[in-house]
Chain A
Amino acid sequence: MHFEVIVIGAGHAGVEAAYAASRMGCRVGLCSLSRATVAHMPCNPAVGGTAKGHLVREIDALGGLMGLAIDATGIQFKLLNRSRGPAVWSPRAQADKREYGRWVAAALEREANITWVPGRAGRLLTSAGRIAGLAMEDGDAHTATAIVVTTGTFLNGLIHIGPEQRPAGRHGEPPSRELAESIRSFGFEMGRLKTGTPPRLDRNSIDFARGVACGDFVKEDGDAVPAPFSYATTRLLRNRVSCWLLHTNDRVRDLVRGAIHQSPLFNGQIQGIGPRYCPSLEDKIMRFPDRERHQIYLEPEGIDVNEIYVNGFSMSLPREVQESLVHALPGLEDARMVRPGYAVEYDFVQSTELSSTLESHRVRGLFFAGQINGTSGYEEAAAQGIVAGINAGRLVRREPAFVLRRDEAYIGVLVDDLVTRGCLEPYRMFTSRAEHRLLLRIDNADLRLTPYGRELGLIGDDRWERFSARRDRFDRNVARLRRTHVRAGSGSRAAAEVLRQPGVRLCDLVDRGEVPLDIASDCRELDLASVETAIKYEGYLKQEASRVARASRQERKRIPAGFPFARVPGLSREAIQRLSQVRPETLGQASRIPGMTPAAVAVLGAFLGRLPADAPAEGAM
């Protein structure tokens, strides 16, 4: 068959890529082993968290799927960091993992432009350095202008459970070997990473009430008023489950220490590098001997799902050790382990092989997105998916690239970090990675990105109208706060000034009827948060904006494609090698390549200035 865009893999990256390209009007082939694992959650049954929640809001603001999907199928919602400042509020939700996959699959079914291509992808077909199509392992071949590879941990995946090793992409699914070979044949720099997952328990074998009564468990519930992920969600969300917090004890510690030689992580069986922010139980015990106990959360994987996810307990010890470790946890003496945790090693493509559109330097029309680029997390994968899908669509339609800057979106930070720095360990988003995070808040993701989504063709008319109304309300409300005077002490002052006082909240001013704001009933919290932040922290936000402006000349200075770094006199051989490999698109990117000295960047900048002026490629499009 002929497609414009083929997406290999239907995980969180793949579905966003396929959906975006389809919304842009491309004929999309979505190649997946099984429809049952669309948008699958092989690890924790949750979406969001610090910085990850920001990514989901941004995906949603651009017109992606993830926010809508989790709002539709979430079973417990929390806004993290509520007690801190507005720039680090971050939504997180437990998902009904089965419903989540079904919801996404159904959303894709509704897309007339998407055709399912069941089976195992084999070889990437090229012609004159460009993607020409995809050969399936069973012999079928499809032509395509662009291919987005989103194969997660499937490339030469190897699962470890104690001494037991077996090739697998995920639990119970065979890995991709031929595709791995095909990718490697183009000469991409590849590496090997490791990640892991905890054991799952039988929900019916745990007496939660007793655990709470005995003081072993602390019940954790969602927010009283859940905040949605998606700007389009208007219905009230409902918390349907609780989670339970418990702690490891000395017995767990002693058991791990006693069995440490059987851990593939510690006996040399695993070479791949794991994420530091998601340490295995073995790591926690061995590397932090001073910490008396570690937190464990029991999380239901769905309403009608019997499995309990043991968050914080990922390990690769032998099955029987895992079993005794579970039983060593307070309140879980009689719990039944449904399946053991495991570590998985997999190949990834070094992300410096990619440009900011996630298209590879080596093969035109070949995009990579998600865990194959060295990231971890559903949200990071989905964010790359939408970027790759959009740009595959733009390539097909011969439109200019779509790149978000670091001061525009966490998605911009994510992609920029990947393509300039590469990955030494699985990459996870943190708010501390975003140097302009004051500007990148969940309350303004729509203001930042929905106009782009509209221009790209991902935002429909209904959604656009709703957004436009919300933006108008925002502008009006900010103006009104500056204009309206309220009583303050003996005199009166502008409401905006009063709001800047410590401890003054906008909702109080509004509730007391002191400032008449235009607030939509189905959008109250968001309306208030955007306006309050814009006024209350105006000084900081202005300062941040001027920092962005100051750096922008250097930051946005374009480096033309194919720029001959070797011909810049005065650059060290290492600098030339790094630059030629990473192929930075701007001087800002060049400065972020590890090992680039300020002097080398200055030299490069000066030589760029001598080239004829190039396209005014400021802004995102």
Chain B
Amino acid sequence: MAKVKGTSFVHRHAASLAVVPVMLIALVFYFGSAVWSMVMSMTASKIFPDMTFVGVKQYIRLFSDALWALSLSNLGWYALGSLGSLVLGFFLAVMLESNLAGERFFKTVFLYPMAVSLIITGLVWQWLFNPSMGLQQFFRDLGLQDFDFNLVGKKETVMWALVIASIWQSTGFYMVLSSAGIKGIDSEVWAASRIDGISKLRMYIEVIIPMMKFTFLTSFVLLSIGAVKAYDIIVAMTNGGPGGHSELPSYYIVDMYVNRQNIGMGAAGSTILLALVLGFILLFGAINLLSKKKE
């Protein structure tokens, strides 16, 4: 940090004034709003705000709603499935970091889904999963008469469809992070492996992957928070269906506020969401601290 020592009062005053707007926005719109939501979650509010204190009643009501429980377990599966984009992204990065010609072309292809809206991702994958005109029909026309790829239509498989679409969307991103991690490894490590004649595969398993654990942990935190925030893709692809089997907490909360008009339960759900994310932030902070200590 380029801090200027011994500046006059006016100088410091200008700098402090310059941060006031952002500071106020953080205080009012983020922390104020979060506290406001927490307060609402402990009131009897329904369609209209009602400031009668009811303690944890809204939370009890929330957790006795089967749909909320379902959305939490869906979130677990969705987060787990999204790990696929990290695995695939790392795998692609390893191949691309081998000095292949056409690296730029491949990277452009793998990353373009990141540039489009999740509404479009959801829409195009809904179309691809269309049972009578989409991929299923294509494979049946090839002679696989029993081919079943109607993932969106069935409650057992609908989360798979969301996971596939989200892997398509975000693999390129984790490929870029992994590439940066591989590039960041000291050149001496590679030189040493060449002298020792260690095979590339062993090199990756025994040296590179352990050295990249901070990249992976960061990616893991980002993936988890991405899963907690996922909303658009559900709207465009399934609207939570069939029968709530693709609802995630983020979708449940908006639905609670907007369609079911239950402020108290929506606020309770959003407070749980906040707690989840704060947990991940603590994890992220711990990782950052650890990685700084290492340096």
Same complex? no
